[in-house]
Amino acid sequence: MNRKIHIGVVGLGAFSSDFIKLFGMHPDVEEVAVCDLLPERVAKSQKEHGIKRGFTSFDEMLKCKDLDSVAIFTQRHLHAEMVEKALDAGKNVYSAVPIACTVEDIGKIIDKVKSSHLVYMMGETCYYYPCAIFCRQRYEKGDFGHFVYAESQYYHDITEMYGDFSRSGGDAWRRVTGIPPMFYPTHSASMVLSAIHEHATKVSCFGLRDDFHTDNIYGEGKNDWDNPFSNETALLRMSGGGVVRLNEFRRVGINKPSSYITAFYGDLGSYECSVTQHTFQRGAASGESTLENVGKLVNTCRYNNEMALGGLEAPANGVRYIEGFSPIQDRSRLPKAMRTLAPGPHYNTHSFLVDDFCRAVVEDKLPPNNAWDAARYMLPGLIAHESALRDGMLMDVPDFGDAPESFERLTYLKKDYYEED
């Protein structure tokens, strides 16, 4: 494994900074370059991270033959065009969510990945969330039995995002802020769909018409999608016969962004969550009726430690209960420098995202959250929004199938893979 990655990071807003640091510390990365339309952002990032090469043109960066990979952190509605350009230029692609915002663009990306055999990975943090890992592991063991029903959601009040959108969207920031909630369904969808390995076949969705706020974000003529909905709720029929409920809310009285599985039911076992309270039950059909408190396994180490010391009075005290690693996350598979990272956002999942992408590029393997996975997380949301516009009409969800057998899936390596001599 002598290959070294040269990666260009494009889009230098607040979110990309952590990834620049992580790519820079990964043992398989030789160089990190940066790119943004704003020269001052490029200069700041170069100074902050010790970056040698900076660009103010994505097209110019793509011309650099020695850069074999790009990581895209631009606004969500720009991803498709940039991903397609990068693949056409022969680059492996890491992209923030979502993969694309139209069925047609998703199909184009899949076709380009299939024909080029380049690595595409969507940076879905929630795939690595503790609740998702728990349900995935126990489902694969057979503890849930046949999948019956699940509820998952992403709650993020739009008021908290005013600053982010205004910094990156310019004077017309409201027009891009009003993107349909179900055009960003991958947090809620990935946690369940990655566990059951099924795809949605039909969807019905209802939306909350946002005519009770005066910020002029939602409504006909107020955004680039003429989207009237701030909140959308979808019911998905899955290919195995079960049902999944997804909530994507942008008007909600919650103090911080929140993505989690609240319920995951099989005919033999079930998982339920309320913020930091996590339980797993086995029903009578399993031959043993049991109730486990699995909170210490799923909650973060930081939260568990503070609770043990009596220093955390409220379970949802700020964002501390989602900062840092959880015991169920296998840190031993990470490069040594990443195993002891200080508590960071999204359960420190950024380290797993970077590691899986780098390993996939070096080994020429198919990563988790690949183009086919990303399509199955995204497509139900796109069709769900159409359903909401049609007052909940039941609609078919397209599917691009599984990755071809010629793509070998990435498997986690032995714990000593990154051990120093």
Residue 260 clears pLDDT 60, i.e. is over it: yes
The residue out of 64, 95, 124 marking a domain boundary is 124
Determine, yes or no, domain membership for 401: no
Give the other-Cβ count within 10 Å of 413's Cβ.
13
User: Is 231 found in the same domain as 90?
Assistant: no
CATH of the domain at 279: 3.30.360.10
**pLDDT, tens digit, 9 for 90 and up, residues 149-190:** 999 999 999 887 777 666 666 667 888 889 999 999 999 999
The residue out of 101, 124, 147 marking a domain boundary is 124
CATH of the domain at 18: 3.40.50.720
* β strands within 239-350, DSSP E: 243-249, 258-266, 269-274, 277-282, 290-293
User: Is 385 found in the same domain as 260?
Assistant: yes
**pLDDT, tens digit, 9 for 90 and up, residues 332-348:** 999 998 998 887 788 88
Altogether, the residues listed in the chain come to a count of 421
Instruction: Quote the pLDDT of residue 170.
Output: 64
**pLDDT, tens digit, 9 for 90 and up, residues 44-64:** 999 999 999 999 999 999 999
Determine, yes or no, domain membership for 416: no
Total structural domains within the chain? 2
Determine, yes or no, domain membership for 409: no
User: Is 202 found in the same domain as 108?
Assistant: no
Determine, yes or no, domain membership for 411: no
Instruction: Quote the pLDDT of residue 377.
Output: 98
Q: What is the mean pLDDT of residues 89-103?
A: 97
User: Is 132 found in the same domain as 116?
Assistant: no
The pLDDT mean for the chain works out to 91
Determine, yes or no, domain membership for 39: yes
> Based on the number of CB atoms within 10 Å of its own CB, is 79 exposed (0-12), middle (13-18) or buried (19 or more)?
buried
> What are the strands of the beta sheet with 5-10, ordered from one edge?
54-55, 29-35, 5-10, 69-72, 92-95, 120-122
CA distance 124 to 370: 10
Q: Which domain holds residue 141?
A: 126-351+370-396
Determine, yes or no, domain membership for 377: yes
Residue 1 near residue 28 (C-beta atoms within 8 A) = yes
User: Is 156 found in the same domain as 96?
Assistant: no
**pLDDT, tens digit, 9 for 90 and up, residues 265-302:** 999 999 999 877 899 999 878 778 889 999 899 988 87
User: Is 153 found in the same domain as 43?
Assistant: no
Nearest to 326 by CA among 292, 367, 276: 276
